[in-house]
Structure 1
Amino acid sequence: MNDNAWIDAHRQGQSDQVLSGSGVFIVNEGNFMSGNATLSFYDITTGETTNNLFYRTNALPLGDVAQSMSILDSLGYIAINNSGKIYIINTATGKYSGKITGLTSPRYIHFVSQEKAYVTDLYASAITIFNPVTFQITGSISTPGHASTEQMVQIGSTLYVTCWSSDNTILKIDTGTDAVTGEIKVGKQPKSMVKDKNNQLWVLCDGNYGSTTSGGQAELQQANPETGQIEKSFALNSDNIASDLSINATRDTLYFINNDVWQMPVTASQLPATPVLKNPGTIYYGLGVDPENSDIYVSDAIDYLQQGLVYRLTAKGIPVDTMKTGIIPGSFCFRQ
């Protein structure tokens, strides 16, 4: 039975709920090979959290390891990593709108235009191109020598893509021709990346954390996209994973996880002395910053088995709310 038939058979009698107002979709990874990924929605105005949204709305499991979500107009595209597909939902109701299959291990989605999008991949050594309107794969960009591609940032007509697994490269891609035009060498295992108000790239390298091979130094680096030069480099604590580099609404302040949650102006010449949110001995796993008001959202995986928590704080680190989510809340997608 295909997904459409499954939904039709199981949604009888259900009414579409309405997700009103501004809110945050929380992508809960679930456990690898368990198929227990879920989607939550947090209403910023009311403070209410709707858990297991995808299944409750569509009577269909989300899949195995939900990685990320991106929004284009009224549709949300959810990359399901180990299931090798992308589910598309209506962001006002959570209702299933379609899917994209034939992917290896999708990670992140970037929309170039209304009719062209890229999706990176953990194992494919290629970036897939698809049409967000028809949900059809239209091509791919080969990345030989780079086993995995991760996050994407576009400046002008150039897309910058981090290559993660034991790599140290940011690829440059012409979004008009879909051709790889160059690369920038950075620290070991560049994972997350943002652009600041001056169109400078900031990249967080985890230094091969958790690998069975020889490790490296975790670093936060500023790269000039025009020259490819590393303008600043800050050594992080390599004993704890460095992850989830994010930026505030005015693009002048960085946030990232390195055991604790850290906040740093892009003009800084040294790392901050104290974190904006200290780790009490748990597992800070995901981080997102509201692109409108710069509120901070930090996920707590607890023990990777039970329902996780998400903490909402102001841009200055003042606690606002705490919500219970699904298993391993990993990423955030803001709906304005």
Structure 2
Amino acid sequence: MDDNSGKEEEFDTKGVGLFIANEGAYSRSTASLSYYDPATKEVQNEVFARANGMKLGDTANYVAMFGNKVWIVMNVSNVVFAINPDTFKEEGRITGLNSPREIHFVSESKAYISQFYDNRIAVVDPSTCEITGYITVPGMDDSLTASTGPMVQSGRYVYCACPSYQKKIVKIDTTTDKVVDELEVGIQPIAIVLDRNDNIWCLTNGGGWEANPVGYEAPTISKIDTGSFKVVETLSLQLGDYVKGLAIDGSRENIYWLNSGVWKMNINASALPAAPLITTDSYSLYALTVNPANGEIYVADAVDYQQPGMVYRYSTSGSLIDKFYVGIIPGSFCWK
């Protein structure tokens, strides 16, 4: 992370906007933040650096909005930045982390930050940006397999997927900050979302490669009842499918994922769709989001993972509306 002072630009954005966290090339501190206005189709790149006179740092892993701030999780730089969503100015930072992955906000005074190669989830106070404690995840003592990732919440419980060489989701009681249960799913749960019925949908990548020590299988999409904390349905994709991303629309009735195209499935479906909503073999599809207001789909294309990536904007029916360049490896979105 480069803290050298530089020229600071003034921004004052209004209305609905989309933030894109661009990971950047690993270990080269080329992470960046982009901002897109759907109404004007205007994109602004490097907005954090331009507004603050310093670069984000190494590997922007996740971006989220909470408490009128945008939070940017910097994995390799071990910091989470809080910025103003209109001016992009820094308003705080959380330090002392170990390869942070994602942040989930429990309340105005509590958030959880999952970590890579660490069996602890950090508990932080967003109002002070201070670490207040840790949640230790049982059964993950080896540093290679000790990683936590995406999180969702239903009632007092937060559910956290363990994506690296694991096949489980853990259940955390937010009143005690302790793991109270765990559930086995497919190999390497990489994404989870919560639907309108308080069911969790979990996407696993099946291990990703044949020599994976935890195993190699077809990717799966599982439906989990949060009341019983049991898997009630599992749909298997094809062995060797390369899946990424999982998103849900604003009504929380349809889920979307990437697999050589964009797939869409209603939460009441009992079988996988026969064909993708959007078909393409030309993109290195890396992440996606759905505009919660109108259902438009935004897909990130990492291209060759070295040059600026692209974001494609589609209608609800899959027609291309717009496309624009962003930073290197666009990997996470959040809406303002």
- What is the identity, as a one-letter code, of the residue corresponding to 2:260? N
CA distance in 1, matches of 2:229, 2:128: 36
Q: What is aligned with 1:316?
A: 317
2:64 and 2:333 in contact (8 A); partners too: no
Q: What is aligned with 2:161?
A: 162
Greater CA drift, 216-225 or 154-163:
216-225
* Selected match of 2:6 from 10, 16, 32: 10
- What is the identity, as a one-letter code, of the residue corresponding to 2:305? Y
CA distance in 2, matches of 1:140, 1:212: 33
1:42 and 1:50 in contact (8 A); partners too: yes
TM-align CA RMSD: 1.5
1:218 and 1:238 in contact (8 A); partners too: yes
Q: What is aligned with 2:240?
A: 239
- What is the identity, as a one-letter code, of the residue corresponding to 2:6? H
- What is the identity, as a one-letter code, of the residue corresponding to 2:182? E
Q: Moved runs in structure 1, 4+ residues, more than 6 A? A: none
Q: Tell me: CA distance 1:101–1:270, structure 2 relative to 1, closer, same or farther (3 Å).
A: same
1:222 and 1:230 in contact (8 A); partners too: yes
- What is the identity, as a one-letter code, of the residue corresponding to 1:269? S
In structure 2, the gaps of 5 or more residues are 141-145
Q: Tell me: CA distance 1:281–1:238, structure 2 relative to 1, closer, same or farther (3 Å).
A: farther
* Selected match of 1:114 from 108, 115, 118: 108
- What is the identity, as a one-letter code, of the residue corresponding to 2:106? V
CA distance in 2, matches of 1:17, 1:37: 20
Deviations 1:38-87 (A, max 9, x none): 00000111110000111111111111110011111221110001111111
Which secondary structure does the structure 1 equivalent of 2:48 belong to? helix
Q: What is aligned with 2:31?
A: 37
- What is the identity, as a one-letter code, of the residue corresponding to 2:220? E
Q: What is aligned with 2:143?
A: none
CA distance in 1, matches of 2:128, 2:2: 18
1:74 and 1:92 in contact (8 A); partners too: no
Deviations 1:257-287 (A, max 9, x none): 1122100111111111111111232211111
Q: What is aligned with 1:203?
A: 202
1:271 matched to 2:277 = no
- What is the identity, as a one-letter code, of the residue corresponding to 2:232? E
Q: What is aligned with 1:290?
A: 291
CA distance in 1, matches of 2:48, 2:288: 22
Which secondary structure does the structure 1 equivalent of 2:279 belong to? coil
CA distance in 2, matches of 1:309, 1:218: 26
Q: What is aligned with 2:46?
A: 52
CA distance in 2, matches of 1:211, 1:158: 34
CA displacement at 1:319 relative to structure 2: 1.5
What percent identity do the matched residue pairs reach? 39
- What TM-score, normalized to structure 1? 0.94
CA displacement at 1:216 relative to structure 2: 2.1
1:142 matched to 2:100 = no
Deviations 1:98-141 (A, max 9, x none): 21111111111111111111111111111001111111111110
- What is the identity, as a one-letter code, of the residue corresponding to 1:102? G
Greater CA drift, 44-53 or 211-220:
211-220
CA distance in 2, matches of 1:279, 1:237: 18
CA distance in 1, matches of 2:282, 2:82: 36
1:65 and 1:82 in contact (8 A); partners too: yes
- What is the identity, as a one-letter code, of the residue corresponding to 1:160? Y
CA distance in 2, matches of 1:32, 1:161: 25
- What is the count of residue pairs matched by the alignment? 329
1:131 matched to 2:125 = yes
In structure 1, the gaps of 5 or more residues are none
CA displacement at 1:239 relative to structure 2: 1.8
Which secondary structure does the structure 1 equivalent of 2:333 belong to? strand
CA distance in 1, matches of 2:125, 2:197: 31
Q: Tell me: CA distance 1:211–1:89, structure 2 relative to 1, closer, same or farther (3 Å).
A: farther
Which secondary structure does the structure 1 equivalent of 2:35 belong to? strand
Which secondary structure does the structure 1 equivalent of 2:161 belong to? strand
CA distance in 1, matches of 2:88, 2:209: 35
CA distance in 2, matches of 1:121, 1:53: 26
Residues 178-257 of structure 1: pairs in structure 2 closer than 5 A: 178-210=177-209, 212-213=211-212, 214-257=215-258
CA displacement at 1:176 relative to structure 2: 1.0
1:28 matched to 2:22 = yes
Which secondary structure does the structure 2 equivalent of 1:167 belong to? coil
Q: What is aligned with 1:171?
A: 170
CA distance in 1, matches of 2:16, 2:170: 34
